[in-house]
Amino acid sequence: MPRPQKRLAGTAGPDKKGLPGKRAKTEDAGEISAKVENSSLQKISASKDSVKKLSSYWLMKSEPESRLEKGVDVKFGIEDLKAQPKQTTCWDGVRNYQARNFLRAMKLEEAAFFYHSNCKEPGIAGLMKIVKEAYPDHTQFEKNNPHYDPSSKEDDPKWSMVDVQFVRMMKRFIPLAELKTYHQAHKATGGPLKNMTLFTRQRLSIQPLTQEEFDFILSLEEKEPS
Partner DNA sequence: GCCAACGTTGGC
Stretch near DNA under the rule CB under 7 A, chosen from 20-28, 46-54, 132-140, 160-168: 20-28
Q: Which residues make beta-bridge pairs with 59?
A: 113, 207
52-57 contacts at long range (C-beta below 8 A, 24 or more positions apart): 54/107, 55/107, 55/109, 55/110, 55/111, 56/105, 56/106, 56/107, 56/110, 56/208, 56/209, 57/110, 57/111, 57/112, 57/113, 57/208, 57/209, 57/210, 57/211, 57/213, 57/214
Stretch near DNA under the rule CB under 7 A, chosen from 80-88, 90-98, 158-166, 211-219: 90-98
Closest approach, Cβ 166 to DNA, in A, equals 20
Stretch near DNA under the rule CB under 7 A, chosen from 83-91, 126-134, 155-163, 199-207: 199-207
Residues in binding contact with DNA, number by CB under 7 A: 31
97 interacts with DNA by CB under 7 A: yes
Largest CA distance in the chain: 53
Among 4, 5, 7, 170, binds DNA (CB under 7 A): 7
State the binding string over 169-188 for DNA (x if CB under 7 A, else -).
-------xx--x--------
195 interacts with DNA by CB under 7 A: no
Closest approach, Cβ 116 to DNA, in A, equals 8
C-alpha to C-alpha distance for 123 and 111, rounded to whole angstroms? 17
Residues near DNA, by CB under 7 A: 7-15, 21-23, 26, 61, 69, 95-98, 117-119, 122, 176-177, 180, 201-205
